[in-house]
Chains A and B, each alone.
Chain A
């Protein structure tokens, strides 16, 4: 069975997510549309696809707040606390919403999270 990669909560709340550079940003009807360039997988390139592709993601006001917080300097914990304070939420609720959204941003490749080598090795062993 394939092992799942996992890191502990303390580490995941301490990392500083980084926004991937956007090739284009557009504001329209209160939403921000961010276009990011990705490298295609090798098998797609072998089938004749271009080396790079572009994908556009729309962020509402709350999404923009979390996205803007991913500045490589602010840990996830701080992003959660700031979100809770701005919207008068409990830290627990803000943590649920912000971490769920960050997982979505990570899965889409819009943000990345730097992890040290020993954290990665420890995560693989879990």
Chain B
């Protein structure tokens, strides 16, 4: 493919966000492989033909993290000294890079490392020499400097394949269900509080096969508690986009004879976004009835990034 065609295609952007970091990448790029968990993991990002960028992240456990010492150790392990001029995106306390790190195979790769004290996150972006020189330069000139991170007391964005969610502060990702047409993430906070966020598309097909009530019942994760006789009411939002659906509340209990043990109050919202043709679902479960505003907020924030 010619450079001009590739450049044109890269003008359209999409958002990839995971575990507290956020990158705006060309539309054709997508996550190819993901390993680990929100505390430590890797994501290989590429286009339809090849991998291009490897993003690694890690949340230091120590209360006092010595970034300078860690960076020294890291680059010593890589067998390199940091080169001046590392891209420094906003929100990062310390950054360092080695643009031409020699590999054992005789080629080179560019390694960029950044630490954000506010987010408590170390992120590394690696591009090998298999990627064209002009693209490598573009990645470190435009894409990496545009990286953002979420502070620990801020909502966190989770986005890929044009599907995005926002989780409220304090919620950690526990489970994921990533399938084309059905993306679900389950978060937890403290003891007993969980938040399930899900998008199903296309909505016309989804709603023709199952009602919104049935979509709320059908969770992609194992659910031992059952909701009986929920209260339901119509739910809608007009701004900034039209969402129509239902809001459901009630107590979820374990099957008999454990019904009185650890019940959970469930607040669930299922809405259809007619413009994007998506079914948006959110369910908050708590040991007590706390209003469930997080479920409403989570649905309003879906696909708004």
Contact = CB atoms under 8 A, between A and B. Distances in A.
A10 interface: yes
B30 A92 contact: yes
Interface string B44-63: 00001100000000000000
Range, interface on chain B: 20 to 34
Interface residues of A, number: 14
Contacts of B30: 90, 92
A71 interface: no
Given A9-B48, A87-B201, A87-B202, A93 B161 contact: yes
A64 interface: no
Contact of B180 (A9, A62, A91, A96): A96
Contacts of B201: 87-89
Contacts of B162: 88-90, 93
Contacts of B202: 62, 87
A92 B277 contact: no
B48 A95 contact: yes
Nearest to A60: B205
A89 B30 CA distance: 13
B161 A87 contact: no
B31 to A, nearest CB: 9
A116 to B, nearest CB: 19
Contacts of A61: 204
B224 to A, nearest CB: 32
Interface string B169-207: 000000000001100000000000000000001101100
Contacts of B265: none
Interface in B34-82: 48-49
Main secondary structure of the interface of A (DSSP, over half): helix
B14 interface: yes
B276 interface: yes
A92 B49 contact: no
B80 to A, nearest CB: 34
B200 to A, nearest CB: 13
A89 B181 CA distance: 9
Contacts of A9: 48-49
A104 interface: no
B278 interface: yes
B85 to A, nearest CB: 33
B147 interface: no
A94 to B, nearest CB: 10
A62 B203 CA distance: 13
B261 interface: no
Contact of A88 (B48, B205, B276): B276
Contacts of B244: none
Contacts of B14: 90
B28 A91 contact: yes
Given A10-B1, A97-B180, A91 B49 contact: no
A9 B204 CA distance: 31
B27 interface: yes
Interface string A73-94: 0000000000000011111110
A92 B29 CA distance: 8
A91 B27 contact: yes
Contacts of A10: 1
A92 B276 contact: no
8 smallest CB-CB distances across A and B, nearest first, come from A90-B162, A92-B30, A90-B161, A88-B276, A93-B180, A93-B161, A87-B202, A91-B27
Interface of B: 1, 14, 27-28, 30, 48-49, 161-163, 180-181, 201-202, 204-205, 275-278
